Structure 1
Amino acid sequence: MSTLRNKVQLIGNLGNNPEIITLESGKKLAKFS
């Protein structure tokens, strides 16, 4: 089984720093505002 890896680059201004959450499965989630 191959592993997929996605890369996203966002350019712009954020109101706050991103909130990074680690899920129980070990995956990470980033919330931007």
Structure 2
Amino acid sequence: IKKQDQLEAALSFLELKGPENFEVKVFEEACGV
């Protein structure tokens, strides 16, 4: 994560999914990484 908008997307994703229920690939795609 290199940009502020990627960080915001990551936090939103984790709020929605929860830290224990996510796949790295889906997480990276959602964050634009």
Instruction: Give the alignment's TM-score, normalised by structure 1.
Output: 0.23
Higher RCO (CA < 8 A, seq sep 6+) = 2
Instruction: Give the alignment's TM-score, normalised by structure 2.
Output: 0.23
- Relative to its length, the structure with more helix (as a share) is 2
Larger Rg: 1
- Relative to its length, the structure with more strand (as a share) is 1
